[in-house]
Amino acid sequence: MVELKAEEIFKEFRQHSVAEFFKKNRQMLGYSGMTRSLVTIVHEYVTNSLDACEEAGILPDIEVRITEAGENRYRVMVSDNGPGIPKNYIGKVLATILAGTKFHRYMQQRGQQGIGGSGCTLFSQITTGKPIAATSMTGTGKGYTCTISLDTVHNKPVIGDYKELDGLKRGLTIEGEFAEIKYENSDHGVYEYLRRTALSNPHAQIKFTDPTGQEYAFLRAIEAMPLRPKAIKPHPLGLTVNDLIDFAQVSESRKLSSFMTDTFSRFSQDKVNEIAGIATSVNMGKAPKDITWDDAEALIKAFKSVKWIAPDATSVIPIGEEQVKIAMKNILNPEFMNVVERKPKVFRGGVPFIVEAAVAYGGNAGKKTDEGYEGNLLRFANRVPLLFDSGTCAITAASKNMDWKRYNIDIEAQPISIFVNVSSVYIPYSGVGKEAISQESEVVDEIKLAIMEAARGVQRYISGKLQVSHETSKYKTIIRYTEQLSKDLSDLTGEDREAIDRSLEKLVAKHYPKAYVGEEEEAIEKSEDTSGESDEGGEN
């Protein structure tokens, strides 16, 4: 065997762009199966539209149209009524990976990395060789249309066919042709994704046309914009040693003491003094850039040993209890539901997050099966549906760890829907495809507590139904014998049989009041149905 020198080996050394990396590893962006790839495309464009509309204070009107263009080949068009994109930014937004308005801001948004829209352009390019077409109108009478492709070697946009447009229309329309994708009307398809998007975004209106030409409309349930999250400082709890050093290296503060009050939320001068009294080995007067690993370890340990005010929730805006109720009634129309919104918590990195959970029973909740019904889990992160990778998700883990029988819930046989939305400045996704939340212990525990709280309300309702059913069964069993008993007593005593019958009925009703009320309501309903039929017959 011939030995090679280092110089020979390193002749093949090359530096590659991040676009080239994702070109070879497209599965990391969510393009790992034909059905999933199509949902990923729709997901990226729709979430960008929702974010843009909300940031501009516009109630979103979104249209999605999918047209068949060949075997496993489709044209996808997504249009919105948002503010549009300035012409000098369109290439950076749709054809420059890791560029955007979101990653560097400490506030809640659906997108995070600045990959999604550019990833779609890349996927179109590598499966069809065609660019993406975009039309942007600002509503001021001016706009433009162009094609966009991605120079993967340099991770730069290539703009073509640019043309100025006139018109008062407002919004962005993106259209592209994609291959190696497939449309399916299933629990993991585009229709279900948009249905769940409407569930978690009741202020949005979505029109969808599938490849057969069938049109669907998810109407707006709330005529009000959700509150806008505000950028905040990170919370001291949850910070790691490395986080603290990274913040210190870019700080412009002159001393560690002022660095902490300037950089982190809930940090007053009194809190600095308290920390200094615990981390006595750290010189609070030194420059932040001079902090050592030992200094940072001592400070993080001190952070964890003192009490803190809860994180500022203005950076995280959940859907809201009332909005979830309205949306679930609009989409699922359950017989009963219980919605819970937990208080803000923090996890690794000092990142605040809020968990909302709801358990819905009956109506259109759950999934229909050949045997009847079974429960289904509706997972969301920052209002975005998560349809794939459920096995690795924190929401799935929390739900599976529940003792559902304790709540009189049979998750495998009842029409139950479990809704969970995690809102955060930074969602700890388990992959770049953003389809599952990493199983951070703080997040899993908080999700489980939220589901348990929501399940308790449904438990009370189901228990009440079971009690009424049990009483009704006993009531009907006993009442069957009163007719014969009243006849026998009348024969023996000579008393009026109808009077005895009424007395016995009252006695039974006294012991089973819920069943008796149910019987009365049922009788009234039957009477109303009968009277309606006779009226109709009379008119004829």
In a domain, 229, yes or no: no
Answer whether 366's CB lies under 8 Å from 415's CB: yes
- CA 320 to mean position of chain CA atoms: 12
Whole-angstrom CA distances from 3 to 6, 7, 8, 14, 445 are 10, 12, 10, 22, 55
Tokens of 103: 């990653």
Query: In which residue are the tokens 């014998």 written?
Result: 481
* pLDDT computed for residue 169 by the predictor: 87
Q: Do 448 and 474 fall into the same domain? A: no
Per mean pLDDT, which range of 137-141, 213-217, 325-329, 515-519 is the poorest? 515-519
Q: Do 399 and 361 fall into the same domain? A: yes
In a domain, 113, yes or no: yes
Burial grade of 300 (CB within 10 A; 0-12, 13-18, 19 or more): buried
* pLDDT computed for residue 533 by the predictor: 42
Residue 110 binned pLDDT confidence (cut-offs 50, 70, 90): low
* Per-residue model confidence as pLDDT tens digits over 132-181: 999 999 888 889 999 999 988 888 999 999 999 998 889 999 999 999 99
In a domain, 365, yes or no: yes
The answer, yes or no, to whether residue 498 has pLDDT greater than 90, is no
Give the torsion sign (CA, 476, 480, 486, 492): negative
Q: Do 391 and 494 fall into the same domain? A: no
Average pLDDT on 68-95 reads 94
Query: In which residue are the tokens 């290296």 written?
Result: 249
What CATH code is carried by the domain that includes residue 264? 1.10.8
Torsion angle, alpha carbons of 490, 494, 497, 503, to 10: -80
Q: Do 267 and 404 fall into the same domain? A: no
Q: Do 365 and 484 fall into the same domain? A: no
Torsion angle, alpha carbons of 307, 313, 319, 324, to 10: 40
Answer whether 451's CB lies under 8 Å from 377's CB: no
In a domain, 341, yes or no: yes
Q: Which residues, 6 or more positions from 505, have their beta carbon under 8 angstroms from its beta carbon?
A: 479, 482
Average pLDDT on 226-243 reads 82
**Mean pLDDT score of the chain, rounded to an integer?**
85
| 515 against 243, higher pLDDT | 243
Per mean pLDDT, which range of 183-187, 272-276, 432-436 is the poorest? 432-436
Q: Do 105 and 192 fall into the same domain? A: yes
Tokens of 371: 């045997």
Q: Do 434 and 508 fall into the same domain? A: no
Q: Do 130 and 162 fall into the same domain? A: yes
The answer, yes or no, to whether residue 24 has pLDDT greater than 50, is yes
The answer, yes or no, to whether residue 420 has pLDDT greater than 50, is yes
* pLDDT computed for residue 127 by the predictor: 94
Answer whether 114's CB lies under 8 Å from 126's CB: no
* pLDDT computed for residue 197 by the predictor: 95
* pLDDT computed for residue 428 by the predictor: 87
Residue 351, classed as helix, strand or coil, is strand
Average pLDDT on 320-343 reads 93
Give, rounded to a whole angstrom, the gap between the first and last alpha carbons of the chain: 102
Residue 374's domain spans which residues?
313-459
Of 88, 102, 77, give the one whose Cα is nearest residue 157. 88
The answer, yes or no, to whether residue 101 has pLDDT greater than 70, is no
In a domain, 66, yes or no: yes
In a domain, 227, yes or no: no
Strands (E), 288-385: 336-341, 345-347, 351-361, 367-368, 373-374, 376-381, 384-385
The answer, yes or no, to whether residue 467 has pLDDT greater than 70, is no
The answer, yes or no, to whether residue 67 has pLDDT greater than 60, is yes
Answer whether 132's CB lies under 8 Å from 339's CB: no
* pLDDT computed for residue 173 by the predictor: 97
Q: For the chain, what's the residue count?
A: 540
What CATH code is carried by the domain that includes residue 379? 3.30.230.10
Determine the Cα–Cα distance for residues 452 and 407; give it in Å rounded to an integer: 9
Q: Do 455 and 470 fall into the same domain? A: no
The answer, yes or no, to whether residue 357 has pLDDT greater than 90, is yes
The answer, yes or no, to whether residue 7 has pLDDT greater than 80, is no
Of 362, 430, 369, give the one whose Cα is nearest residue 395. 430
Residue 90 binned pLDDT confidence (cut-offs 50, 70, 90): very high
Query: In which residue are the tokens 């803000």 written?
Result: 344
Tokens of 479: 């009442």
* pLDDT computed for residue 233 by the predictor: 80
Torsion angle, alpha carbons of 390, 394, 398, 400, to 10: 30
Q: How many C-beta atoms surround the C-beta of residue 136 within 10 A?
A: 24
Q: Do 83 and 195 fall into the same domain? A: yes
* pLDDT computed for residue 219 by the predictor: 94
| Percent of the chain residues topping a pLDDT of 90 | 55
Of 200, 220, 194, 138, give the one whose Cα is nearest residue 380. 200
* pLDDT computed for residue 36 by the predictor: 92
Amino acid letter, 381: A
* pLDDT computed for residue 78 by the predictor: 98
In a domain, 228, yes or no: no
The answer, yes or no, to whether residue 298 has pLDDT greater than 90, is yes
Q: Do 73 and 91 fall into the same domain? A: yes
Determine the Cα–Cα distance for residues 26 and 95; give it in Å rounded to an integer: 15
Strands (E), 233-335: none
Average pLDDT on 59-68 reads 97
The answer, yes or no, to whether residue 528 has pLDDT greater than 60, is no
In a domain, 38, yes or no: yes
* pLDDT computed for residue 474 by the predictor: 67
Provide φ and ψ at 358, rounded to 5°: -145, 145
The answer, yes or no, to whether residue 52 has pLDDT greater than 80, is yes
| Percent of the chain residues topping a pLDDT of 70 | 86
Domain's final residue, options 203, 218, 233: 218
The answer, yes or no, to whether residue 4 has pLDDT greater than 80, is no
Residue 124, classed as helix, strand or coil, is helix
Q: How many domains does the chain have?
A: 4
The string of DSSP letters for 432-453 reads TT--SB---HHHHHHHHHHHHH
* pLDDT computed for residue 13 by the predictor: 59
Q: Do 58 and 146 fall into the same domain? A: yes
Per mean pLDDT, which range of 66-80, 82-96, 468-482 is the poorest? 468-482
Per mean pLDDT, which range of 1-15, 19-33, 513-527 is the poorest? 513-527
* pLDDT computed for residue 530 by the predictor: 43
The answer, yes or no, to whether residue 43 has pLDDT greater than 70, is yes
Answer whether 67's CB lies under 8 Å from 75's CB: yes
What CATH code is carried by the domain that includes residue 70? 3.30.565.10
Domain's final residue, options 428, 459, 490: 459
Determine the Cα–Cα distance for residues 240 and 237; give it in Å rounded to an integer: 9
Average pLDDT on 491-496 reads 82
* pLDDT computed for residue 472 by the predictor: 65
